[in-house]
Amino acid sequence: MVSIGIFGNKIGMTQIFDKDGLALAVTVIRVGPCFITQLKTESINGYNAVQIGYLKRQPIRVKKAELGHLTKNGLPPLLHLREYRVPDLNNYSLGQMINVNHFKIGQLVNVSGKSIGKGFSGNQKRHKFKRGPMTHGSKNHRAPGSIGPGTTPGRVLPGKRMAGQLGAKKITVSKVQVLGIDEKQNLLILKGSVPGKSGNLLSISCLAQI
């Protein structure tokens, strides 16, 4: 069962030293606070779920339908909403705040976000294809070459690896360890790298129910 998660923004990367003196690359994320904006029950909606919201914004930047949905529950205008299915709703209440206190040092989390977009890229950069010979007379330095037989089937099959958009896709990194927590500034320090550049919106979910 997927636990409910929390939103955050990537601040950047740095390094810290563990007790053995080894330098560890870490990512610093400003997490939450998020608010529970809706509780869906099996009797009314057919399933149990928790909807959370993140990032306060001016009312003019929120759609009228979403603004009415939040105002009805006594919540401020929130820019990002997401729903998580849960087995039961006993531990959740409407308007409840979810912040960095829900994490523990040493815990494993999944981090999802949009990777850095690198524009239209060729086969060598996008798929790690081998280039052609660079000697004089060769006309196939970085060309894609043949992309399929002409007679049968007489077309390019779907899924053919060719040049195209590289990056700017949703990426999930699993089992990232929490190395540090700063409750005053709502900072989460994770081991290794996570998707996207600085300021990127991230969704962080625990592997165990929080």
Q: Which domains does the chain have, with CATH numbers?
A: 5-128+162-206 (2.40.30.10)
**Tens digit of pLDDT for each residue in 174-191?**
999 999 999 889 999 999
Decide: 197 and 11 in contact? Cβ < 8 Å. Answer: no
Mean residue pLDDT across the chain = 88
Q: What is the pTM of this model?
A: 0.79
Looking up tokens 């606070």, which residue turns up?
33
**Tens digit of pLDDT for each residue in 100-134?**
888 889 889 999 999 999 999 999 999 999 999 99
Q: What kind and span of H or E run contains 108? A: strand 108-114
* Of 122, 113, 114, 200, the residue nearest 165 (C-alpha): 122
- Residue type for position 30: R
Q: What angle do CA 131, 132, 137 make, to 5 degrees?
A: 145
Decide: 206 and 3 in contact? Cβ < 8 Å. Answer: yes
